[in-house]
A and B are shown apart, each in its own frame.
Chain A
């Protein structure tokens, strides 16, 4: 029962910490914390979606950044044509990334294991190069967005603190939605396909369809993250969809601990904050960060969350 209470306590702690961030920023007068917090939460949304695929379905997608990019470009391109309202941009961002997930998922899910990793990379790269060729929208250099999206005509996102809580609301909604998906009948079948796809198929489930649905869900959430990212930075560029970015997202969720939605958020925060903190010491921070990742992989099976779990058992004896 203790484990169950902890299962509720940890997310409460995480979201309380996020909610308190702007207050800390106001107290210390350091407004940078707010924009850093926004960045962490936006990537946490994308990481939750990726963890849904990788952690619960063993579908290692190496092209997840494409969905972030699609969501971001939806905002950028609409804004370039004078359509700056979130009520239009958000549904478009979600629909575009969902459709891309559906179209590519149909092809990708024919393959398994490493071949799946590489074919998702292939589609990610195609999206990347397509974005770089969009000469009217900045091409390689990217596209500056004139202002953050309006909401029904009101500049709700304009203030950093207000936007922080908007993003927090989206993160909470995504987290709860992912938990609901994992716990549902759909989620049980999907998780079953990770353990033994043949067995699920003989039980009469069309595993392919379940995986495709999960892939589309993850794509839509990735699009949401991109919509928010474009608003946060007021800029979109092909770099948002580079394979390095997809790789970083994977590292974030493995770092936090796969197959635990809390782990996805913790891993993202740990990755981005460590990056920020270490780069404050020395420009050669990667010399420290690299070996740290090696240590996590060798010793901390199950990432930060797994490590914490084993420490707890050790203390209890």
Chain B
């Protein structure tokens, strides 16, 4: 367990963490403010990646692809809100689950129809290709650092927006008690649309940023959706601060667990059982963490609602 490996894995963990944060932020706000379970949030992340690949192919420029894909992801999110989700806000959670699950099936298959089932790739923009030497014997890809930095910047901007603007104040108020905000004369439908559109764009942004690292394929949003739910539940639903902290914790625990658990287990057991048990335990680690957090704090670390 060398220091370089540890540093690399911490950076990888941070990268997963900020990625999860970008997705979880929208999810937790939509859930906290609108009381709407949006399972389709994961496919919006996938769509962001596909749109980036498409617009990159059309324009040949990563930046233009990024901007156009963001706009298209926003437009598509608002279309979904208008066509489907709007009719389900005041309905039972389970109606929302079945409808958004239907949207997942449709879009996962839809991208296969349009772009084919084979994984696509997006090249890393030339300016950020290559690696940088962080310390002796440690080369780290520049793009991954860009992903981490952009996630952190998005987090800071989001914090400023939510904590220090009028819209942000309404969003926080909405997460605490939406009917009361509506009763005070705020157009809650418009607030919902803003929150929803913003969340969609963040998820799309996450998809675009990781498209050069991961392969872009149908179903790539499903696993990350479950992880994002783990994050918002650990953080406390409706809390941006909670989502940020929980995302970093989950990202680090998952990544470090996967790389080091076999070595750690070997301290207390024989090498061969450690190699069998290790990977399973590593996959389980974040769920163990979630169960533990919920056992001690049944509404997450920073619950937004004062129930």
Contact = CB atoms under 8 A, between A and B. Distances in A.
A258 interface: yes
A130 interface: yes
Nearest to A293: B102
A251 B230 contact: no
B102 A294 contact: yes
A111 B291 CA distance: 10
A298 B105 CA distance: 16
B300 interface: yes
B298 A290 contact: no
Contact of B229 (A54, A118, A301): A118
A247 B97 CA distance: 9
Interface stretch (B49-57, B121-129, B280-288): B280-288
B300 A293 contact: no
A251 B88 contact: no
A284 B101 contact: no
A297 interface: yes
Contacts of A298: 84, 87-88, 95, 99
A286 interface: yes
A297 B98 contact: yes
Interface stretch (A14-22, A71-79, A120-128, A158-166): A120-128
B168 to A, nearest CB: 23
Interface in B136-169: none
A255 B95 CA distance: 9
B58 interface: no
Contacts of B113: 284, 287
B179 interface: no
A297 B291 contact: no
Interface string B85-102: 001100101111111011
Contact of A107 (B87, B237, B295): B295
A107 B295 CA distance: 7
A129 interface: yes
A118 B94 contact: no
A205 interface: no
Interface residues of B, number: 47
Nearest to A55: B94
Contacts of B96: 297
A293 B283 CA distance: 31
Contacts of B106: 286-287, 290-291, 294
Given A129-B283, A290-B109, A60 B233 contact: no
A289 B94 contact: no
A216 B103 CA distance: 33
Contacts of A96: none
Given A107-B295, A290-B105, A297-B96, A122 B287 contact: yes
Contacts of A287: 105-106, 109-110, 113
A10 B101 CA distance: 29
Interface in B287-303: 287-288, 290-291, 294-295, 298-300
Contact of A255 (B98, B299, B300): B98
Contact of B99 (A119, A123, A250, A293): A293
Contacts of A296: 98, 102
Interface string A86-127: 000000000000000000000100111011001101110110
Contact of B98 (A111, A121, A244, A251): A251
Contacts of A247: 101
A133 interface: yes
A114 B280 contact: no
A152 interface: no
Contacts of B276: 133, 135
B210 interface: no
Interface string B207-218: 000000000000
A294 B103 contact: yes
12 contacts: A114-B37, A119-B290, A121-B287, A125-B284, A126-B288, A133-B280, A135-B276, A251-B101, A254-B94, A287-B106, A291-B102, A292-B102
Pairs of residues from A and B, 8 with the lowest C-beta to C-beta distance, nearest first: A133-B280, A293-B102, A290-B106, A290-B105, A297-B99, A286-B109, A122-B287, A294-B102
Interface of A: 54, 60, 107, 110-112, 114-115, 118-119, 121-123, 125-126, 129-130, 132-133, 135, 243-244, 247, 250-251, 254-255, 258, 284-287, 289-294, 296-298, 301
